[in-house]
Amino acid sequence: MYKLQRAQHAAPLRSREGAARCAPTTRSISAFSNCSREGASRCAPTTRSILAFSNCSREGAARCAPTTRSFPRRGTAHGSPRSLLPQGLFCYRLAARTQRGSRSNRPDLKPLNSTIKAKSTAGPGHAAKRGAEASPRRPEWIVDLHSFVAADFAAPNDVRTRRLVGGKGFNLARMHGLGFKVPRGFVVTTQAYRHGVERMLQETSSLADLSAQIAARQLPRELEAAVVAAYERLGAGANVAVAVRSSASDEDGRQSSFAGQQRTCLNVRGHAALIDALREVWASLVSVESLLYRGRVQLDAQPPEMAVIVQELVDAEVAGVLFTRNPVNGDADEALICSAYGLGETVVGGQDTDTFYIDRKSGELRSDIACKLNALHPTPDNGLQRLAVDTAAQDAPSLSVPAIHRLLEVGQSLERAIGRPQDIEFAFTGGDQPTLFLLQTRPITGASRRSSTGHSAALYSNANVGEALPGVGTPMTWSIAGAFAARGFATAFGALGLDVPKDYSLMASFRGRIYLNISEFVSVASQIPILHGATLAQLGGVLGDLQGLDDTYTRLSPATFLRRLPLTLPRLAASQLSMPLIGKLWARKFGRKRDAFFAKPLARLSRAELQQQLEELDALFNRTGEVMLASAANFLMSYVLMSESLRRMGGAAAAEKEHVLFSGLTGVKSAAPGLELLALARFVKQSPSLHELFLDERDHPHTSDDLLAQLRLTSDGQVFIGKLHGFLRRWGHRALREAEIATPRWREDPLFLIKVIGEHLRAPYLPTPEAIEAEAALHRAEATQLIRQHFFTGVGAAFRLLLHWAHRNARLREELRSYVVETLSMYRTFYLEVGRRMVLAGLLKQVDDVFFLNTSEARDWLRSRDEDCHLLTTVAFRRAAFDAFVRCPDPPDTFTLVHDQEVSDENTLGADGDTLTGLPGSPGRVTGRARVFREPSADDISVQPGEILVAPFTDVGWTPLFLVAAGVVTDRGGPLSHSCVVAREYGIPAVVGVHNATQRIHTGDLVTIDGQAGVVHISREPSEPPREAES
């Protein structure tokens, strides 16, 4: 046995899960040492797959395994630990024997709830069997890890068991039932968590306040007594050393490990220290890092609950981690072990460790041995200390060859029993008869796996879809948008006779932002033989070099498409011919239903009547969406045919000028609000009193209510108010980020509109409708010249018909999209009433909390009379996660997801010095000072006439500002986006999809934009160097 010497000035250490986040200094694998971590755990779950060296502390923490329906009976021998370490270092000599667990030789540690103890010691499974025979179930605050039976791990009991004891606790109990050696302990269950924490949550306004409450307030007396009693039973005294670990309900699952996200406390001794550690683990559930990790998975997921494991601390001589499959390269034939002297915190915390690679078939072993200068051990009191390792042992392997092979046998046994590759933590005790303990296991997450298209990588982009729903979406919006997107793709692809594989989701969320799976999108559309993958990717919004696209998508067989083609073509032709009439008829019907909705006094309706109203609103939204999506599919088809015809018949030179063909498009409904506001500005400018009032408003801002009150004092003001009310009746459903239901609409506060009018008044000249039409006529003439230049007479006439067809579909798409946005505004009105009632019922703290529920939860409340829904907890977690994601930087506009890691090749995106490139949005060339908006807000829209508007995105709610600005530049978007359609009708240049434009360009920069070439040039003074991007 190696000698341990106390290091000088060694201070007791408290082990924190996730505290040590630096990359390992071992010489094991270069990928490990190159691993970079920010410490905030914002990355994808592959942080755990690279042996979790750099951001997980897991000494002894139990990892959950997936539920299986059958496994060996309790006590079945998978072999007791028989590990041998190097002679002279740490020698294990265990006789070859089989340990069979029986009821008699297990510790007599019964369910330990001293105040509400269950009648039986058989654990939750036994309680489930009693069923109706039992009296109403009492809360289970304390559960003995060794009291579970086989039924607890078989469906359907496994769901309840996991919810009760959490992922880690579930798997620890399961390993014990399989006959493996697991330290004795108990679980403070999720029911105890609810009892101790939810009362505090009702008295706090945020999760940050809740964390402080948990740390400061005393636990309920009966709960604290139950925990203390369990602790005393565990150690037959009050000073036994224990490890206190998290076991959240969603922890250590198949897809996500949550490694390093919660607190772990090692070597906890005494009643007071145990209760403090319990509070610390509970509080760690609401940390920012934990919320970001969970939100990465699903922002509207149910809030987790925290069980806490209390186990006897194993004072290990050697500890480590075994991966039954290599988690780095995904090699199923290679296992990997990392080990070090002392507690396993050294290994999982990224310290110097030995690494062993074992061929699972041949048993061949290779190793990388580190210099291990110290080992982590418990102090006589609370905390940990580092002790120096004897010099002779520092460079020697911490595990012998027999020990390594024995660990592999144990790991393979556990893998077979659970049915998935495992990540196992182990510890060997010292002495002549050392014991191998399994401290936790869980499925290997983040390992190499293939995407839905059969490739190891998938391409994602929000260049186009990000304009429809920019930024972080609330759960209510996501639940509506997700169903809408699913129907949309089913409608669009189905109309074309294409099959969508069942495992394709097409949409995804990254840090709360919406993304399109380009790989799946291109794979589905590739069933049409004539379409090229790069063309399809560009329709999805991908910019730059597409050389790697072929490695991310699979060209699906065109057989189904071709077989359906005889039916598809007539159906498409019928849709194209009938859609104008259908759109017109539906517009009339929609208007009647909309007016009927706003005529109803929602505040007077009963719950049942509200439920009926919601069903009617859902039906209206679904039908409106179906008509709009069918129109969008028609437009996409006509645009693709027009684009392909231009490329094939006109050549590359003609294809480069494609955007000219959509310039001068008039009659677009999305452009109407901006034109009407321009007319209001002309009215104000013609009235001296109004002009003076608005100029004063610009210099001394008032609230919209104050300004309207002053307008009512004059006759011209009253006329203006009448015109404004008429505008709001037609366009009051619009807003910035109008697809987000939580966004207030113009009708709720017209401040944005008043400011736009004020900005118009700064201009020396306001364009008239005639001037705008003349500009559009010039663009149409340019398009005609392009057709004459590249097409023969007969072919040119046919192409003009095709172009007219695409223009008609574009107008119809914009009109129907306005009705969809109007329906979203109706949803907002409805759910605000639901939120008001839930506040009165004490279920929410403020009305707009309702947007942090999803539609199913709101609908369930309308149907149910149960007011005890725990919605305060749900909203608090989701609000905190939402706010954390808003503060996070945006993911790249387009990136490749490789094994859950975002990989972006910045070189493929246009940026050369002070010249930025994007996509042509609207033709024209203009120079002006930049006005940059990084966080769009109605409170700050000061755009001077002649300035270049630079923004992350510009949805239709932004378009009234287009007539103030001289040009538009956006971070994302495509030439088919709604804002580009409006820019072309207004006749102002636009360049979209310019990567990091809002970071590279600064307010006041002199910029020149070329909307035809898709280029933005930043002009700087000779003495002015390029500036760093503002934070």
Instruction: Note whether residue 675 is domain-resident.
Output: yes
Bigger pLDDT: 31 vs 309: 309
Instruction: Note whether residue 889 is domain-resident.
Output: no
Q: Is the pLDDT of residue 625 over 80?
A: yes
Lowest mean pLDDT segment, chosen from 248-252, 509-513, 607-611, 980-984: 248-252
Last residue of a domain, one of 448, 478, 508: 448
Number of residues that make up the chain: 1031
**Average pLDDT over every residue of 571-580:** 88
pLDDT-based confidence at 313, cuts 50/70/90?
very high
pLDDT-based confidence at 91, cuts 50/70/90?
very low
Residues 420, 497 within the same domain: no
- With H, G, I as helix, E, B as strand and everything else as coil, classify residue 813: helix
pTM of the model: 0.70
Residues 609, 705 within the same domain: no
Residue with tokens 């392997």: 397
**What is the domain range of residue 737?**
669-776
**Average pLDDT over every residue of 912-934:** 82
Q: Show the tokens assigned to 184.
A: 């004795």
Instruction: Note whether residue 566 is domain-resident.
Output: no
Residues 726, 800 within the same domain: no
Residues 373, 261 within the same domain: yes
Instruction: Note whether residue 53 is domain-resident.
Output: yes
Instruction: Note whether residue 885 is domain-resident.
Output: no
pLDDT-based confidence at 850, cuts 50/70/90?
very high
What confidence score (pLDDT) does residue 946 get?
82
Residues 108, 146 within the same domain: yes
Question: Highest mean pLDDT range out of 4-8, 403-407, 629-633?
Answer: 403-407
pLDDT-based confidence at 556, cuts 50/70/90?
confident
Q: Is the pLDDT of residue 54 over 90?
A: no
Positive or negative, the Cα torsion across 732, 737, 741, 744?
negative
Residues 485, 415 within the same domain: no
Lowest mean pLDDT segment, chosen from 596-610, 639-653, 724-738: 639-653
Question: Highest mean pLDDT range out of 307-311, 400-404, 664-668, 897-901?
Answer: 307-311
Instruction: Note whether residue 720 is domain-resident.
Output: yes
Last residue of a domain, one of 826, 848, 869: 869
pLDDT-based confidence at 434, cuts 50/70/90?
confident
Task: List, for residues 206-224, the tens digit of each pLDDT value.
Answer: 667 777 788 778 888 999 9
CATH of the domain at 273: 3.30.1490.20
What confidence score (pLDDT) does residue 341 get?
93
What confidence score (pLDDT) does residue 825 get?
95
What confidence score (pLDDT) does residue 194 get?
85
Q: Is the pLDDT of residue 428 over 60?
A: yes
pLDDT-based confidence at 298, cuts 50/70/90?
low
Q: Is the pLDDT of residue 869 over 70?
A: no
Mean pLDDT, the chain, as a whole number? 76
Q: Is the pLDDT of residue 640 over 50?
A: yes
What confidence score (pLDDT) does residue 624 get?
93
Lowest mean pLDDT segment, chosen from 224-228, 511-515, 724-728: 511-515
Last residue of a domain, one of 409, 433, 448: 448
pLDDT-based confidence at 414, cuts 50/70/90?
very high
Query: CB of 487 within 8 A of CB of 585?
Result: no
In whole angstroms, give the CA distance from residue 517 to residue 508: 7
- With H, G, I as helix, E, B as strand and everything else as coil, classify residue 528: coil
CATH of the domain at 1007: 3.50.30.10
Residues 590, 736 within the same domain: no
Residues 802, 824 within the same domain: yes
pLDDT-based confidence at 909, cuts 50/70/90?
very low
What confidence score (pLDDT) does residue 599 get?
94
Put the strands of the sheet holding 4-6 in their side by side order. Answer: 4-6, 384-389, 374-378
In DSSP notation, 977-1018 reads SHHHHHHHHHT--EEE--TTHHHH--TT-EEEEETTTTEEEE
pLDDT-based confidence at 411, cuts 50/70/90?
very high
Task: List, for residues 731-751, the tens digit of each pLDDT value.
Answer: 999 988 888 999 999 999 888
Domain count, the chain: 5
What confidence score (pLDDT) does residue 635 get?
86
- With H, G, I as helix, E, B as strand and everything else as coil, classify residue 77: coil
Q: Is the pLDDT of residue 322 over 80?
A: yes
Residues 462, 443 within the same domain: no
In whole angstroms, give the CA distance from residue 189 to residue 307: 4
**Which residues of 691-734 form beta strands (DSSP E)?**
none
Distances (CA, A) of 291 to 133, 302, 303, 477, 820: 41, 12, 10, 19, 32
What confidence score (pLDDT) does residue 300 get?
67
pLDDT-based confidence at 674, cuts 50/70/90?
confident
Lowest mean pLDDT segment, chosen from 10-24, 369-383, 424-438, 925-939: 10-24
Using a pLDDT cut of 70, give the percent of the chain over it.
73
Query: CB of 250 within 8 A of CB of 267?
Result: no
Residues 490, 361 within the same domain: no
What confidence score (pLDDT) does residue 754 get?
86
Residues 960, 826 within the same domain: no
pLDDT-based confidence at 326, cuts 50/70/90?
confident
In 3D space, the residue among 183, 167, 187 whose CA is nearest the CA of residue 443 turns out to be: 167
Instruction: Note whether residue 782 is domain-resident.
Output: no
Residues 633, 503 within the same domain: no
Question: Highest mean pLDDT range out of 90-99, 114-123, 437-446?
Answer: 437-446
Task: List, for residues 985-1011, the tens digit of each pLDDT value.
Answer: 777 888 887 878 888 899 989 999 988
pLDDT-based confidence at 97, cuts 50/70/90?
very low
Instruction: Note whether residue 567 is domain-resident.
Output: no
What confidence score (pLDDT) does residue 526 get?
84
Task: List, for residues 761-782, the tens digit of each pLDDT value.
Answer: 878 778 777 777 777 777 777 7
In DSSP notation, 272-308 reads HHHHHHHHHHHHHTT-HHHHHHHHHH-TTSPPP-EEE
